[in-house]
């Protein structure tokens, strides 16, 4: 499949898409289904369950970060106005997709009583913000991204009520929360948007490393320096236990759980340390794969070239399979419908399977999605003149 795309970006995106499916299979198949015990709660988790969840922490920040990089690459041959218009329309499209297409995939509720604002919401709002930022000088976008990512944890302990205009605005920007509205309806803000806007801005700034005037060797050195710098910054700041995350690490009964506590950073919203922990290794991956043959990753690259298509297929497939699994366990298929009364109710507590079943289903789902994704990747490559494909 001939393409002018940058292979190691697609490979990294493909890897995180594959890992993301593991997280969502765990959501729907492990004990408790979606609202079971927190797999990163060190008082109840196991090492295997913790790392099954922890490795998937890399997915959202890398995906949002690379969305910013893709925006920069898309804008190289377009004016700022054209790029801004594309980001604006695509951002609105992503928000619509979150509320309707993705929302139904997660909930299977035709009444849409529980509206989850997840990763597509965060990407959409971040694109709307970036559509304005692209009119600024490059250095201003870079500095603003650094400032948001580096300083937003100052808001961690700000005391603002959950309700009212300011409380609701703060929820959207920086606090995971449930917001009731209407009769029997609930908005679940999973991805407060402020740090994600900063993440996408930094990804946009990274795009300059892929400009034609920068050689592969220069790019490799820069990526490795940035990656090692982020990882060392994470280790140093996390060791101080003073700033950069809502959850300090604590002494545990064993050395292994000391490590788990050290790695157990906050995703909702993504803390400075969480982003350093995830984006640092991502930059190292890009540095180590720069200029190398990536034949070993050809199959994974397929997923990285059609992430939107892959996401839609995988969430519907996983949820549908979980409903079948519920019926096999002796439950009604309607128990697979997620609505406002489900979170925290305990009605899903006895649903689910051991972790080995989760991994078996994960491998099966990814394998089943390969061929439709390969077909769609070829179709996109052969029909670049169809503008609407850039939204799918």
pLDDT single digits (tens) 233-247: 999 999 999 999 999
pLDDT at position 297 is 86
Q: What is the pLDDT of residues 356-383, one digit of tens each?
A: 999 999 999 999 999 999 999 999 989 8
Closest C-alpha among 286, 300, 305, 121 to residue 203: 286
Residue partners of 64: CB distance under 8 A and separation at least 6: 119, 122, 123, 126, 196, 199, 200, 203
- For residue 310, being part of any structural domain is answered with yes
Residue partners of 184: CB distance under 8 A and separation at least 6: 113, 340
Q: Which domain holds residue 174?
A: 7-391
What ranges make up the beta strands (E) of the chain?
Answer: 114-117, 177-181, 185-189
- For residue 2, being part of any structural domain is answered with no
Dist. CA 19–CA 58, nearest whole Å: 8
- For residue 85, being part of any structural domain is answered with yes
pLDDT at position 334 is 84
Which pair of structure tokens corresponds to residue 312? 């839609």
What residues pair up with 177 in beta bridges, in sequence order? Answer: 189
Least-confidence region, from 8-22, 28-42, 155-169:
28-42
Task: Say yes or no to pLDDT of 4 above 60.
Answer: no
Q: What is the pLDDT of residues 189-223, one digit of tens each?
A: 999 999 999 999 999 999 999 999 999 999 999 99
Dist. CA 257–CA 40, nearest whole Å: 11
pLDDT at position 392 is 82
- For residue 204, being part of any structural domain is answered with yes
The structural domain count of the chain equals: 1
Question: Rounded to the nearest 5 degrees, what angle is found at the Cα of 227, between the Cα atoms of 223 and 232?
Answer: 150
- For residue 122, being part of any structural domain is answered with yes
- For residue 315, being part of any structural domain is answered with yes
Which pair of structure tokens corresponds to residue 231? 């990882």
Dist. CA 215–CA 345, nearest whole Å: 56
Q: How many CB atoms lie within 10 A of CB 166?
A: 10
Task: Say yes or no to pLDDT of 169 above 80.
Answer: yes
Dist. CA 142–CA 202, nearest whole Å: 6
Task: Say yes or no to pLDDT of 31 above 90.
Answer: no
CA distances from 152 to 147, 175, 188, 302, 312 (A): 8, 11, 21, 35, 31
Q: How many helices (H) and strands (E) does the chain have?
A: 15, 3
């Amino acid at each position: 499949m001939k393409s002018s795309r940058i292979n190691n970006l697609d490979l990294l995106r493909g890897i995180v898409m594959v890992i993301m499916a593991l997280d969502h299979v765990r959501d729907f198949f492990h004990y408790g289904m979606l609202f079971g015990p927190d797999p990163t709660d060190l008082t109840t988790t196991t090492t295997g369950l913790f790392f099954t969840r922890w490795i998937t922490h890399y997915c959202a920040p890398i995906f949002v970060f690379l969305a910013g990089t893709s925006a920069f690459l898309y804008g190289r041959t377009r004016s700022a106005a054209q790029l801004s218009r594309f980001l604006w329309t695509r951002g609105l499209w992503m928000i619509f997709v979150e509320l309707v297409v993705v929302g139904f995939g997660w909930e299977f509720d035709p009444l849409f009583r529980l509206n989850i604002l997840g990763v597509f919401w965060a990407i959409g709002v971040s694109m709307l913000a970036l559509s304005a930022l692209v009119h600024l000088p490059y250095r201003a976008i870079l500095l603003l991204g650094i400032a948001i990512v580096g300083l937003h944890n100052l808001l961690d302990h700000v005391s603002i009520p959950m309700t009212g205009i300011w409380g609701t605005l703060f929820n959207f920007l920086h606090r995971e929360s449930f917001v009731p509205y209407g009769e029997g309806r609930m908005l679940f803000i999973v991805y407060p948007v402020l740090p994600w806007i900063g993440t996408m801005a930094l990804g946009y700034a990274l795009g300059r490393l892929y400009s034609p005037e920068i050689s592969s060797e220069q790019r490799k050195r820069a990526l490795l320096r940035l990656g090692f710098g982020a990882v060392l910054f994470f280790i140093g700041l996390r060791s101080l236990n003073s700033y950069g995350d809502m959850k300090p690490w604590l002494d545990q009964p064993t050395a292994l759980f000391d490590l788990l506590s050290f790695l157990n950073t906050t995703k909702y919203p993504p803390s400075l340390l969480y982003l350093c922990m995830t984006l640092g290794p991502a930059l190292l991956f890009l540095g180590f794969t720069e200029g190398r043959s990536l034949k070993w990753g050809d199959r994974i690259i397929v997923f990285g070239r059609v992430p939107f298509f892959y996401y839609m297929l995988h969430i519907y497939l996983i949820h549908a399979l979980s409903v079948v699994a519920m019926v096999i366990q002796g439950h009604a298929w309607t128990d697979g419908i997620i609505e406002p009364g489900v979170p925290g109710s305990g009605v899903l507590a006895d649903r689910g399977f051991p972790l080995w079943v989760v991994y078996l289903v994960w491998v099966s789902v990814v394998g089943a999605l390969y061929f439709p994704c390969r077909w769609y990747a070829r179709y996109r490559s052969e029909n670049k003149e169809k503008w609407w494909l850039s939204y799918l």
